[in-house]
Structure 1
Amino acid sequence: MPGSAKTVSDKRPPIRLLVVEDSPSVREFLLYLFASDQDLQVIATAGNGEEALEAVRSRKPDVITMDLHMPRMDGYTATRAIMENYPTPIVVVTGSSAPEDISTTLSALEAGALVVMKRPMGIGHPDHAATARELIQTVKLMSEIKVVKRWAKQKTPVIPAFDAGQAEPPPVAPAARKHFRLVAIGSSTGGPLVLQRILSHLPRNFPLPIIIVQHIAQGFAEGFVQWLAESSGFAVSLAADGIVMMPSHAYVVPSGVQASVDAYARITLKKDAAENGHCPSVSALFRSVANAYGAYAVGILLTGMGKDGAAELGLMRGRGALTIAQDKESSVVHGMPGEAIALGAATHVLEPDRIVSVLTGLTKPS
């Protein structure tokens, strides 16, 4: 029938996926998961980095899932080689949540991987369906990222030299600079590297505390904090219930809790329902910041899927806060900041280097 022919011809071709994993059993498990989605087609598998590099060269996949601990050539080295020679979106999939392993795994982001995911739970586990769905959705979304433009010009996405004073920040009334008391940041897919970039270029005596919600897999937060502190050189720690935030420190909210702050810079963490599908949620944090700090806060919404924190960034702006959304060009996924921009929630739309310029400029004497 003509109608049927049109439907077939209009259907998008499947996403071509390369699965890199040295364990045969884990490889079969991933193949089983990806076979459940008709939009994905596994075109090849590889058991080590050398095989992965050859498969990318010869098969030209749309996206890659990458193991890191492999013989002959590990995943970190393979990721660097792929991004330097055949730039392709890479999703790192790891089975370990030990802090020392996660810190090493997150270094793959510096080699050009887009995101790090925890391997889905096994069949029969209560979280199997949710974790499998998250990996599949992430792989599909990452396949659309144009990494050629983003990574091809440099070996790592971190700019080695940056002078925040070179870029003129957007105008902020000098009289208001001394009044800011807190920086709150929300971040998701693609965010770890942007956070590293921002913190690494802030002065070590930055006079405000910073609190961060980064969407990350359960069990990854501690390792993420370790990696972020080591790679940025900034003082970063895991937020704890009841602590008072200090200047020149960044606090990352742990997984599985919602965070709020009060006017005395005290953090409250409590078990609560997910908001916008996330726990911790940027929305929950930003709402408390708007209520406790009003015009004395800076809110920043970075790259990420969905809309978590977008409306609440608008609430912060309505209370007089300085609000910033990451621009589209520098975002891996422009969902969260894009939603904030569409809502008119951002007073400024900036790339990471300009965000550093603004933060540095806010705290200079008038």
Structure 2
Amino acid sequence: MRPYKVLVVDDSAFMRKIISDLIENDPDFKVTATAANGREAVDKVNELQPDLVTMDVEMPEMNGLEALKVIMANHPLPVIMLSGINEEGMRETIMALESGAFDFIRKPSITNSQDIIAVGLSLIEQMKGAMLAREQRQARNASLREPDMILPDPARPVSTGRPVVPELPVRKPGLPKITAEATVKPAVDKSKQPVQDAGTKLPDTSKSGISTPRNLPKTPPAPSLKPPASERLKNRKQPDTVQPLPEIKAVPELPSVSRPEPPASGGGRKAGTKGLRKLVAVGCSTGGPRALKTFLENIPADFPAPIVIVQHMPPNFTKSLAQRLNTFSPLEVTEAEHGMILRQGAAYIAPGGYHLKVVPAAGGQYAIELTTEEARNGHRPSVDTLYESLLPLTDLERHAVIMTGMGSDGARMMKALHDSGVTSTFAENEETCVVYGMPRSAVELQCVKYVLPLQEIAPRLVQAVK
């Protein structure tokens, strides 16, 4: 097999050298050219037609986001963004993922050799995932063009049978008390989105995806208060050193004055928290930011269940993701905080570096618990950890959704939820996934009730929950 051609784009000659050396450590890839800014990158993509591009986010003349949009419009190909950890860089990285970037990595610290090695391993893993996903998509498209191919009946529902499988160990952790007076943030009064027609059950016509997990750097999540969506983020440099995560051994008793309350927006209201009866849990990875945008902008403001989300992403970036999604969704989207009480009309994104669990709280409520337990399936946060926390919550009507992503995180515990009688399970189909790994693993375990294209998941979920 010939090595894949890679274009490396960065305004720093030193960083271009580091990234090029990391890439060429793997014989499957060869750096055929480099570019110092986005304009050069666009010209060299047109001229050389590489298989893949690594793109710095912040560059002079034409930045990475602008170059990405031109490339995806004229010569679509996998692009992996290299982001700094300042707020402006993180915000533009999230926008790049929405605009079609395959994934991103943070730029390595040039003074830390171990960090450079770790970033290099993550980059090679993403590049191999991008190439495999492209080849699987090409093979699927070619098979669909075969004239003698017999297509499955689209009216045939996905099997919801429950075959006997080895019993999965389910741990029910001791759950400390969380007081009812814990933080309840006011909802933003947003206009309702129209709900589209519900999707139909589709069969799985998938092929195998990618199963290699990604490791996340262990740094603490960003500050907890969510600024207004209109506030422009400051371009502030963050330290390159990696700080250890604070240990959280249990959910503490939270007094009513534990956190300052943000000012309530005019006309805002507090959604009901007592008597919560329904809950939606969502998991995704590679391609997730774009999928979450499509998903959340089609959930109406009066949706009668909180939505908890695990998106595989490093610390700090999850805060930028939540802020960005909040500008599109009728729901209030926020980065989850330890001890938050779940409420309707809100979506909570697990902070990078922390597992997120849903636990019972005082007064018949439910709260968020963040822990620094070991990574699971190579990830922290892990979708399996979130889903597992829902197993004992049998008083709730639970709905589980799994969307695009590499690996199989979430599939095993979705199977456990399905076999325990969870209300509904959803998976994104192969045609709309950036990487059909996590959904494929769940479908193969026969635990998915609805396999749908991305744009049909939210309308069908609204129908199922309401």
Give the TM bin, normalised by the shorter chain: 0.7 to 0.9
Indicate conservation of the 8 Å contact 2:415/2:446, yes or no.
yes
Written as runs of structure 1 = structure 2, the 5 A alignment for 1:74-93 is 74-93=63-82
Encode CA deviations 1:133-177: one digit per residue, 9 max, x unaligned.
Answer: 11111022213444998xxxxxxxxxxxx9533335559xxxxxx
Distance in 2 (CA, whole Å) between partners of 1:87 and 1:204 is 35
Report what 2:318 is aligned to. Answer: 221
Distance 2:37 2:6 in 1: 16
Shift of residue 106 of structure 1?
1.1
Q: Does residue 1:359 correspond to 2:461, yes or no?
A: yes
What aligned pairs does 1:133-212 form with structure 2 within 5 A after superposition? 133-146=121-134, 164-168=195-199, 181-212=278-309
Q: Could you say which residue in structure 1 is the equivalent of 2:446?
A: 344
Contact 2:405-2:434 within 8 A present in 1 as well: yes
Shift of 1:104: 2.2
Q: Counterparts of 1:40 and 1:170 in 2: how far apart (Å)?
A: 40
Relative to structure 2, which stretch is displaced further, 237-246 or 123-132?
123-132
Q: Which residue, 288, 292, 296 being the options, matches 2:393? A: 292
Shift of 1:337: 0.7
Residue in 2 that maps onto 1:251: 348
Which structure carries more relative contact order (alpha carbon 8 Å, separation 6+)? 2
* One-letter amino acid matched to 2:450: H
- Identify the match of residue 370 of structure 2 among 269, 289, 303: 269
Alignment partners' CA distance in 1, 2:338 and 2:277: 23
**1:310 alignment partner in structure 2:** 411
Q: Matches of 2:302 and 2:389 in 1, distance apart?
A: 26
Moved more, 62-71 or 97-106: 97-106
Task: Give the partner amino acid of 2:55.
Answer: M
Equivalent of residue 47 in structure 2, options 31, 39, 58: 58
Tell me the equivalent position of 2:104: 116
| 8 Å Cα contact 2:98-2:289 kept in structure 1 | no
As a proportion of its length, which structure holds more helix?
1
Amino acid at match of 1:191: G
**Which amino acid letter does the alignment assign opposite residue 354 of structure 1?**
E
Which position in structure 2 is the counterpart of 1:130? 118
Match of 2:252 in 1: none
Distance 1:308 1:144 in 2: 18
The 3-state SS of whatever aligns with 1:266 is: strand
> Counterpart in 2 of 1:174?
none
Partners of 1:295 and 1:319 within 8 A in 2 = no
Given that 1:240 and 1:269 are in contact with CA atoms closer than 8 Å, whether structure 2 keeps it comes out as: yes
Rg (Cα) greater in structure: 2
CA contact (8 A) 2:295 2:455 kept: yes
Query: Is the 2:57–2:89 contact (alpha carbons within 8 Å) kept by the matching residues of 1?
Result: no
Larger CA deviation: 116-125 vs 82-91: 116-125
Deviation of 1:180 after TM superposition, in Å, equals: 5.7
TM-score normalised according to structure 1 size: 0.85
Q: Tell me by how many angstroms 1:41 deviates.
A: 0.3
Which amino acid in structure 2 is aligned with residue 230 of structure 1?
A: T
Distance across 1 between alignment mates of 2:395 and 2:409: 20
Rounded Cα–Cα distance in structure 2 between residues aligned with 1:236 and 1:45: 38
Helix, strand or coil at the partner of 2:196: helix
SS at match of 2:374: coil
* Aligned residues of 1:68 and 1:94 also touching (Cα < 8 A): yes
User: Quick one: distance in 2 between partners of 1:121 and 1:102?
Assistant: 16
Residue 425 of structure 2 is aligned with which of 323, 333, 345?
Answer: 323
Q: Which AA in structure 1 matches 2:392?
A: N
Whole-angstrom CA distance in 1 between matches of 2:370 and 2:7 = 40
What amino acid is the match of 1:224? Answer: L
2:209 corresponds to? none
User: Following the alignment from structure 1 to structure 2, what is the Cα–Cα distance between the partners of residues 168 and 27?
Assistant: 46
* Secondary structure of 2:39 counterpart: helix
Instruction: List runs of 5+ in structure 2 lacking aligned partners.
Output: 139-192, 203-274
1:103-150 Cα shifts (integer Å, max 9, x gaps): 22211123221212212344644444333211111022213444998x
Q: In the aligned structure 2, how far is the partner of 1:169 from the partner of 1:357?
A: 10
- Structure 1 CA distance for aligned equivalents of residues 379 and 394 of structure 2: 23
Is 2:25 the partner of 1:31? no
For 1:194 and 1:313, the matched residues in 2 are separated by 19
Cα contact 1:295–1:320 (8 A) shared by 2: no
Change (3 A) 1:121 1:283: farther
Higher mean C-alpha displacement, 103-112 vs 44-53: 103-112
Q: What percent identity do the matched residue pairs reach?
A: 34
* Cα-to-partner distance string for 1:244-284 (whole Å, 9 max, x where unaligned): 11101000111222221124321111111011011111111
- Once the 2 structures are TM-superposed, how far is the Cα of residue 328 of structure 1 from its aligned partner? 0.7
Distance 1:107 1:234 in 2: 19
Q: Is residue 2:52 matched to residue 1:40?
A: no
Deviation per CA, 1:187-242, whole angstroms, max 9, x where unpaired? 10011110111101111121110000100123311112112212435311111111
Distance 2:413 2:435 in 1: 19
